[in-house]
Amino acid sequence: MTATTIAPPTDPRRRELRAAARRMPEPEGAVPPSRARRWGIRIATGAAIAATLTFTREPIVIIALLFVLVVPFEKLFPRHRGQALRRPQLAGDVAHALTAPITQAITLAVAVPLAFASFAWLPGLALRPIVSMIPPVALPFVGIALFDLAIYWTHRWGHEVPFLWRFHSIHHSTEHLDWISGFRNHPLDGAFIAPAFVFLLSAGFSAEFSGALAVVQIVTGLFLHANVRWRWRWLHRIVITPEFHHWHHANERDAHNSNYSVFLPLWDIIFGTYFMPKDRRPQVYGVDEFVPEGLLPQLAHPLRGMGNPVRVVRHPIRAFRSGAGFARHVLADMWRSARRPTRRSSRVVAPGTAAP
Ligand SMILES: [Zn+2]
Ligand SMILES: [Zn+2]
C-alpha cells in the first residue's frame, strides 16, 4: 500500500481502503441483542448520564467548549472532507463524554491500588537522589521527559500485551477521528497509567506537577483526535501533532504499533516506533476485531470471559495463585514487547499481538 504522490484530504483511496478494511462480525455463536435488551441498554445508559449530570454539569460545559473551539476548524480544514458531523457511533462517544466523571472515579479507584502493586515506585525511589540534584529551572523539562517515557511504555504495552489491548482497543475502535472521539476510553485503560504517576511522585516530583501533566495530556489528547489536516511538518520530530496521533490510530498495516508518545516523538524515534511517511496521509482508522457499539457494551466488552470476581472471596488462595500466574504471563508479554524487533528492522506486528 505504498503511494508515490501526496494524498489529498479527499483521497479516493480512503473509500477503497474503508471498503477493504476487515469489519469483524460478532464472535461466532453470539446471539445479537434482542429488541428488549437494546432498549434496556439505552435506558441504563440514559440513567448513567442522568446520574452523572445530577452530580455535576461539567461534562456539558466541556462538550460545548470543544464543539465551539474544534468543530469550526474541522469545517475549515478537514482531514477527511466527506466525514459528517453526525457520523456513525456519535451517540456512543457523546455518552462516553457525558459520563466521564463516573468513569474517571472508577479509574481512580482502580489506579490507587494498582500504583502500589506495580512497584513502579521502586525505580522512582532509586532515581530520587539524582532528581534532587537537578537545578529547579531544569526540573520541569526532566519531569516532562520522564513522564513521557513512562507513558510511552505504558501505551506501547497497551497495544502489544494482549490483556492490556482488550481495554485499550475500546479507544482505538473508533473509525472516525473527530472533536469528540477522544472521549471513547475504558476506565481501566486509564488506570494503567497509574504506575507512571507513582514513578514520577516517588522520584520527587510534586503531586501538582504530575497532576498538571495529566490534565495537559488529556486536553491535548482531545485536540489531537480532531478531523483537521494540519501537519505542522516542522514540529513533527519535536512535539506530537494531530497527524502523528492520526497515524497512531491508522488501521493500515505498516502503521500498526507506532507513534506511542503523548508529548515527545523523541521516544518513538529512540525505540524505533516513529512512523510519519512523507508521501501519504492516514486514511482508515479502527481495529480488526469485533468491538460493540455504545457506552455500556464497550465498558463491559473487555471484561467478558474474566470470570466472577466473587471467587476471590470464596477461594482466596486459589485466586492468589492464579493471579500470580497471570501477572507472570503479563510480565512475560511486556518483556517480549520491549525486546521485539522494531520498525528500524522492518518488522511490524498487528495490534494486540505481542511479537514473537
Ligand atoms: Zn493507542
Ligand atoms: Zn487516541
Does the pLDDT at position 264 exceed 90? no
**Closest Cα partner for 264 from 293, 233, 239, 295?**
239
Domains contained in the chain, number: 1
What is the Cα–Cα distance from 65 to 85, expressed in whole angstroms?
Answer: 16
Give 26 Cα–ligand 2 centroid separation in angstroms: 24
Q: What's the sign of the alpha-carbon dihedral 153, 126, 190, 68?
A: negative
| Ligand 1 centroid to residue 181 C-alpha, Å | 13
Q: How far, in Å, from the CA of 240 to the mean position of ligand 2?
A: 12
Query: Residue written as cell 497495544?
Result: 159
Answer yes or no: is 324 within a domain: yes
Q: How confident is the model at residue 14 (pLDDT cuts 50, 70, 90)?
A: low
Mean pLDDT rounded to a whole number for the chain: 83
Task: Give a yes or no: residue 1 inside a domain.
Answer: no
Position 315 pLDDT exceeds 70: yes
The range of the structural domain enclosing residue 285 comes to 41-345
Mean pLDDT across 57-69: 92
Ligand having the closest approach to the CA of 218: 2
Instruction: Report the C-alpha gap between 129 and 116 in whole angstroms.
Output: 21
What the block records as the C-alpha cell of 117 is: 502493586
Is residue 24 domain-resident? no
Q: Does 10 map to a domain?
A: no
**Residue 230 belongs to some domain of the structure:** yes
Q: What is the mean pLDDT of residues 271-295?
A: 90
Inside any domain, residue 211: yes
Confidence (pLDDT) at 351: 46
Distance 1 CA to ligand 1 centre (A): 22
What pLDDT does residue 50 have? 94
Is residue 66 a contact partner of residue 180, using CB atoms and an 8 Å limit?
Answer: yes
Residue 9 in domain: no
Task: Output the CA 158–ligand 1 centroid distance in Å.
Answer: 7
Does residue 30 belong to any structural domain of this protein?
no
d(CA 251, ligand 2 centre) in Å: 12
- Ligand 1 centroid – CA 257 distance (Å): 8
Least confident of 22-26, 57-61, 204-208, 210-214: 22-26
User: Look-up: residue for cell 502489544?
Assistant: 160
Tell me how far the alpha carbon of residue 220 lies from the centroid of ligand 2, in angstroms. Answer: 10
Banded model confidence at residue 168, pLDDT cuts 50, 70, 90: very high
Residue partners of 294: CB distance under 8 A and separation at least 6: 41, 45, 89, 91, 92, 95
pLDDT at position 62 = 92
State the Cα–Cα distance between residues 105 and 99, nearest whole angstrom. 10
